[in-house]
A and B are shown apart, each in its own frame.
Chain A
Amino acid sequence: MGIEVKNLVKSFNNKVILDDISFKVNDGKILSIVGFSGSGKSTVLKLISGLIEKDSGEIITSGGDIAMVFQYSALFDSLNVFDNISFALRERKDLRGKYTERELKKIVAEKLELVGLSGIENKFPSELSGGMQKRVSFARAIVTEPKIILYDEPTAGLDPISSTLIEDYIVRLKNETHAASIVVTHQMSTIRRTADSVLMLYNGHAVFEGTPDELCKEETPYTKQFVEAALEGPMKMN
Chain B
Amino acid sequence: MRVYYKSTYTYKFYCYLIKEIGKLVSTLGNIVLFGIEFLKGLSSKPTTFREIIEQSSRFGVSSLPITLSIVGMTSVIVAMQVAGEMVKQGGGNYVGMLISILMVREEAAIMAGFAIISMIGSSLASEIATMKVTEQIDAIQVLKVNPIHYLFTPRIIAGTIMMPLVVVISSAIGILGGAIASNVVSGLSFKAYFDSVWFGLNMHDLKVCIIKSIAFGFVITLISCSCGMEAKDGAKGVGLATTKAVVWSFVAIVIVDLLFAAAFFY
Contacts and interface: CB of A to CB of B under 8 A. Distances in A.
Partners in one complex: yes
Interface in A64-100: 65-68, 70-72, 74-78, 87-88, 91-94
Contacts of A144: 143
Nearest to B146: A93
Nearest to A91: B145
A140 B134 CA distance: 16
Interface residues of B, number: 16
B44 A88 contact: no
Contact of A70 (B131, B135, B145, B150): B135
Given A91-B150, A93-B44, A70 B138 contact: yes
Top 5 closest pairs, chain A to chain B, by CB: A74-B135, A74-B139, A88-B143, A68-B142, A91-B145
A49 interface: yes
Nearest to B45: A96
Nearest to B127: A78
B136 interface: yes
Contacts of B150: 91
The DSSP consensus for interface residues of chain A is loop
Contacts of A78: 127
Interface of B: 44, 127, 131, 134-136, 138-146, 150
13 contacts: A51-B138, A51-B142, A70-B138, A70-B139, A74-B134, A74-B138, A74-B139, A76-B140, A77-B134, A87-B143, A88-B144, A91-B150, A93-B144
Nearest to B145: A91
A76 B139 CA distance: 9
A160 interface: no
Interface string A189-203: 000000000000000
B141 A51 contact: yes
A72 B142 contact: no
B217 to A, nearest CB: 22
A36 B143 CA distance: 28
A50 B145 contact: no
A92 B145 contact: yes
B136 A76 contact: yes
Contacts of B135: 70-72, 74
Contacts of B146: 93
A34 B96 CA distance: 75
B4 to A, nearest CB: 24
B136 A92 contact: no
A88 B144 CA distance: 7
A75 B140 CA distance: 10
Nearest to B144: A92
B145 A68 contact: no
B138 A65 contact: no
A88 B147 CA distance: 12
- B139, B141, B150 — most chain A CB neighbours (10 Å): B139
Contacts of A49: 142
Contacts of B139: 68, 70, 74-76, 140
- B135, B138, B143, B144 — most chain A CB neighbours (10 Å): B143
A155 to B, nearest CB: 17
- A77, A91, A92 — most chain B CB neighbours (10 Å): A91
Contacts of B141: 50-51
A77 B136 CA distance: 9
Contacts of A76: 131, 136, 139-140
- B138, B140, B142, B146 — most chain A CB neighbours (10 Å): B142
Given A68-B139, A74-B136, 6 more contacts: A68-B138, A74-B134, A76-B131, A76-B140, A92-B145, A140-B143
Contacts of B143: 87-88, 91-92, 140, 144
B145 A67 contact: no
A92 B140 CA distance: 10
Nearest to B44: A93
